[in-house]
Structure 1
Amino acid sequence: MSRRQFLRLVAGAGGLLGACRPKSTPTASQPPARENVEIRGICFDLFTLFDPRGVERVAEAVAPGQAAELCRDWRVRQFEYAWLRATAGQYRDFEVVTGEALDYAAGARGLSLSAVDRRRLVAACSELTPWPDTRPALEAWRRAGLRLAPLANYSPGMLSRLLAHAGLAGLFDAEISTDRARTFKPSPRAYALGPAVLGLPREQIVFAAFGGWDAAGAAWYGFPTFWLNRLGVAPEALSAAADATGPTLAELAAFVAR
């Protein structure tokens, strides 16, 4: 069976990835495919493959009754600090930024975290659970001959620990941390690591984004872009848009096949 035939099979309504579709999901958007482009690789934002909400469950044990608000403030400062440092030329890797953002979020809520609890919360970012459709999708794409890699703001250590913890490291051709470029997505230098590491032109690599901002950044860079809107959030009001959207990896497989 050819790679294209295989991808068409898994992307069909009754394909193996269809079994992972939630009972109620946002409507997928599939515009016409780019012509004369053979997709040979996929780069993933980590949260398209891993459920980020696991951190909140750890936070609930550390700060009962305050986990949701703590994690919300933590996530906001995590990205603000990353982008602030990159813009100001004061780069630190994402593990350092994550700790700094946690310190702010805890302090803003009057929480005094012990060193053990701080390490536990930061470590939780590298102990996330894969979404149910992650492994079968990756295995299908591997068998189809596609080159696969996460392209993540996570530091190299965070990224390696996350993939090893989930037992998924062997399904990727590379682990791409934006630390290699000493910056973070959505910098074009961050996205440029995908073609550089996979050895493919950007036009042949689909970028799968979890956040709308990441989809915009990848589209601006020139990737064929799929916004995997797992949580059904509103689209960003930006001039760039993903080529297609959908709530599960089944829709991504259909986009890649087309």
Structure 2
Amino acid sequence: MTASCVAERGPAAGPKIRAVAFDAFPIFDPRPIAALAEDLCPGKGALLSEAWRTRQFEYTWLRVAAREYADFWQVTADALVFAERALRLDLGEEKRARLLGAYLELDAWPDALPALESLRRAGVRLSFLSNFTPRMLDAAIERSGLGGMFDRVLSTDRARTYKPDPRAYRMALDALGLEREEILFVPFAGWDAAGARWFGYPTFWVNRMGFPAEELGVSADATGASLGDLVEFVKAGAV
């Protein structure tokens, strides 16, 4: 295992991992969205991206708390409008549509396909468990050439909620027919790692951005910078 992996509980200590459930962004690279924002708003792209991303997730959590559901595509569009106004920008319909459309044009990280193939060869079932709508997930899978890699493609839209609501995490249990200890959850964000651990999933945080862990009283079982680190973790004793 690489030096970037930090484990609190080794996989061999519990039941063997039989499936891996991924958030979208460990597989799909979101960086081109930020790059497009900078191209469209020179000098303001980073601020726009940060405000957009922050409000995007705040809206999902507010809507879950208030029980006022809207799907992730709508939330993403609403968050962009807020970010634009907060920064006193005037994107116009064309630029706004291009930024939203970037979510339908995501490519996989270079390490995604080799890692997924390795896990499948090891007999591990693969699933998505994402806040993305089914349309967003299907578009990214098709564009990245990952069709047929996943046993299940689970969008929290089907439960009309968002992570970290336990109802969202439960979807993988119901779909895969496994115990929660047998499903390794793989998030991109620290808050998602905390949510999965609260739910009871063993969790490997693919921390590509090198962020600190959230101060929420729980932490991932292990952390790595790439999907290669994830494969090493799984093969170290979970399968």
Give the TM bin, normalised by the shorter chain: over 0.9
User: Could you say which residue in structure 1 is the equivalent of 2:165?
Assistant: 187
**By how many angstroms is 1:34 displaced?**
5.0
What is the one-letter code of the residue matched to 1:42? Answer: V
1:166 equivalenced with 2:144 (yes/no): yes
TM-score w.r.t. length of structure 1: 0.87
Distance in 1, Cα, partners of 2:147 & 2:180: 23
Distance in 1, Cα, partners of 2:122 & 2:5: 23
1:121 equivalenced with 2:99 (yes/no): yes
1:26-50 CA-to-partner distances (Å, cap 9, x unmatched) read: 7220233353412110001111112
Deviates more, 1:215-224 or 1:127-136: 127-136
Distance in 2, Cα, partners of 1:169 & 1:93: 23
**By how many angstroms is 1:143 displaced?**
2.1
**By how many angstroms is 1:113 displaced?**
2.2
**By how many angstroms is 1:169 displaced?**
2.5
Tell me, which stretches of 5 or more residues in structure 2 are unaligned? none
Deviates more, 1:121-130 or 1:102-111: 121-130
SS of equivalent residue, structure 2 residue 204 = strand
- Given candidates 180, 189, 209, the residue that maps to 1:211 is 189
TM-score w.r.t. length of structure 2: 0.93
User: What count of residue pairs does the alignment treat as equivalent?
Assistant: 235
SS of equivalent residue, structure 1 residue 42 = strand
Distance in 2, Cα, partners of 1:103 & 1:170: 36
User: Could you say which residue in structure 1 is the equivalent of 2:178?
Assistant: 200
What percentage of aligned pairs have identical amino acids? 49
User: Could you say which residue in structure 2 is the equivalent of 1:17?
Assistant: none
SS of equivalent residue, structure 1 residue 29 = coil
Tell me, which stretches of 5 or more residues in structure 1 are unaligned? 1-11, 14-25
For the Cα contact (< 8 Å) 2:28–2:140, is it kept in 1? no
SS of equivalent residue, structure 2 residue 174 = helix
Deviates more, 1:50-59 or 1:28-37: 28-37
User: Could you say which residue in structure 1 is the equivalent of 2:67?
Assistant: 89
SS of equivalent residue, structure 1 residue 37 = coil
- Given candidates 44, 49, 52, the residue that maps to 1:74 is 52
1:194-243 CA-to-partner distances (Å, cap 9, x unmatched) read: 11112222111100111111000000101011111111111111111111
What is the one-letter code of the residue matched to 2:100? Answer: V
For the Cα contact (< 8 Å) 1:30–1:255, is it kept in 2? no
SS of equivalent residue, structure 1 residue 176 = strand
RMSD (Å), alpha carbons: 1.5
**By how many angstroms is 1:72 displaced?**
0.3
Distance in 1, Cα, partners of 2:159 & 2:70: 12
- Given candidates 30, 35, 41, the residue that maps to 1:63 is 41
Distance in 2, Cα, partners of 1:36 & 1:226: 15
SS of equivalent residue, structure 1 residue 148 = strand
Distance in 2, Cα, partners of 1:103 & 1:91: 18
SS of equivalent residue, structure 2 residue 21 = strand
**By how many angstroms is 1:189 displaced?**
0.4
User: Could you say which residue in structure 2 is the equivalent of 1:52?
Assistant: 30
For the Cα contact (< 8 Å) 2:118–2:231, is it kept in 1? no
For the Cα contact (< 8 Å) 2:21–2:127, is it kept in 1? yes
Distance in 1, Cα, partners of 2:89 & 2:141: 31
For the Cα contact (< 8 Å) 2:19–2:124, is it kept in 1? yes
What is the one-letter code of the residue matched to 2:186? Answer: A
Distance in 2, Cα, partners of 1:169 & 1:74: 29
1:126-153 CA-to-partner distances (Å, cap 9, x unmatched) read: 2222211101011111222211111111
What is the one-letter code of the residue matched to 1:86? Answer: V
Distance in 1, Cα, partners of 2:189 & 2:64: 19
